[in-house]
Amino acid sequence: MKRKHYEELLEPLELELVAMARWAKHKGERICVLLEGRDTAGKGGTIKAISARINPRQLRIVALPKPTETETTQWYFQRYVPHLPAAGEIVLFDRSWYNRAGVEKVMGFATDEQVEGFLKAAPTFEKLLVDDGIRLFKYWLSCDQEAQEERFAERLQDPLKRWKLSPIDIKARTRFTDYSEAREAMFRATHTDHAPWTVVNYNDQKRGRLTLIRNLLDRLPDTLVPEEEIDWPALRHEPREEDFNLIHPLPDYPPGD
């Protein structure tokens, strides 16, 4: 999808996302969105698209680092609980507790017993969240191996994107099928009526973002809340200027342009 067409389609969705945030604040709703999927699928771009127009005091992005030594001794879900949304908040998880069923399983960071225990516990944990009123959405962003390889190559060649590559990414290239099998086992165990998975095709990332956002908005109730009118008084004096020292603007670059 061409960027211009994508931006034209995204703009009305951004208005709906802002309305969603206003509704969540007004009603005290708690919205929790889990974004999982293939490496390079497009989680970061989707998070930016959802969050770009929403007050950052209301929307939080959670991307937890590798667990600390202490956290590895805790109840597995414990490190995620403090990041769950409070009333009026929207939380986007850039990967979530499902790390255990994905990268930890495939790369050998968790034992078979730990993975099996997680798959049994996750539906119960999520039932507690949903029963308490949290609106939980679980998305899996899917792309085929050809698209993934192209994106890995792009990151390798672009110095502004190279930070996205990690040693785990390099190893994951040889485990594409293993990740597929781990994903299917995860779906079988954790795709429930109270917290279903939604798979989105991200071979075309722009189309994938639009599809995911549309699906998220459509699964919410009517979010129309009248926008509060602001009585904006006129200044009682002429606009005042500030007096301060200025750093000279950068010259034209490249010189002569």
Output the pTM of the full model: 0.89
pLDDT at residue 172, as a whole number: 78
The predicted pLDDT at position 256 comes to 60
Q: Which of 133, 124, 119, 21 is nearest to 84 (CA)?
A: 133
Question: Is-contact 94 61, C-beta < 8 A?
Answer: yes
CA atoms within 13 A on the CB side of 31: 27
Check residue 85 and give its pLDDT.
Answer: 98
| Confidence at residue 199, expressed as pLDDT on a 0 to 100 scale | 97
Query: What values do phi and psi take at 136, rounded to 5?
Result: -105, 125
**Average pLDDT taken over every residue of the chain:** 93
Query: Would you state the pLDDT for residue 10?
Result: 97
Give the pLDDT score at 255: 64
| C-alpha–C-alpha distance, residues 17 and 55, integer Å | 11
- Smallest CA-to-CA distance from 49 within 158, 202, 223 is with 202
SS (H, E, C) the chain: CCHHHHHHHHHHHHHHHHHHHHHHHHHCCEEEEEEEECCCCCHHHHHHHHHCCCCCCCEEEECCCCCCCCHHHCCHHHHCHHHCCCCCCEEEEECCHHHCCCHHHHCCCCCHHHHHHHHHHHHHHHHHHHHCCEEEEEEEEECCHHHHHHHHHHHHHCCCCHHHCCHHHHHHHHHHHHHHHHHHHHHHHHCCCCCCEEEEECCCHHHHHHHHHHHHHHCCCCCCCCCCCCCCCCCCCCCCCCCCCCCCCCCCCCCCC
Indicate the pairing of strand 30-37 with strand 134-142: parallel
Structural domains present in the chain: 29-218 (3.40.50.300)
Residue 213's pLDDT is 98
Mean pLDDT by 10 residues, the chain (257 residues): 95 96 96 95 96 97 96 97 98 97 95 98 98 98 92 89 82 88 97 98 96 98 82 87 80 67
Q: What is the pLDDT of residue 174?
A: 84
Query: What's the confidence (pLDDT) of residue 257?
Result: 55
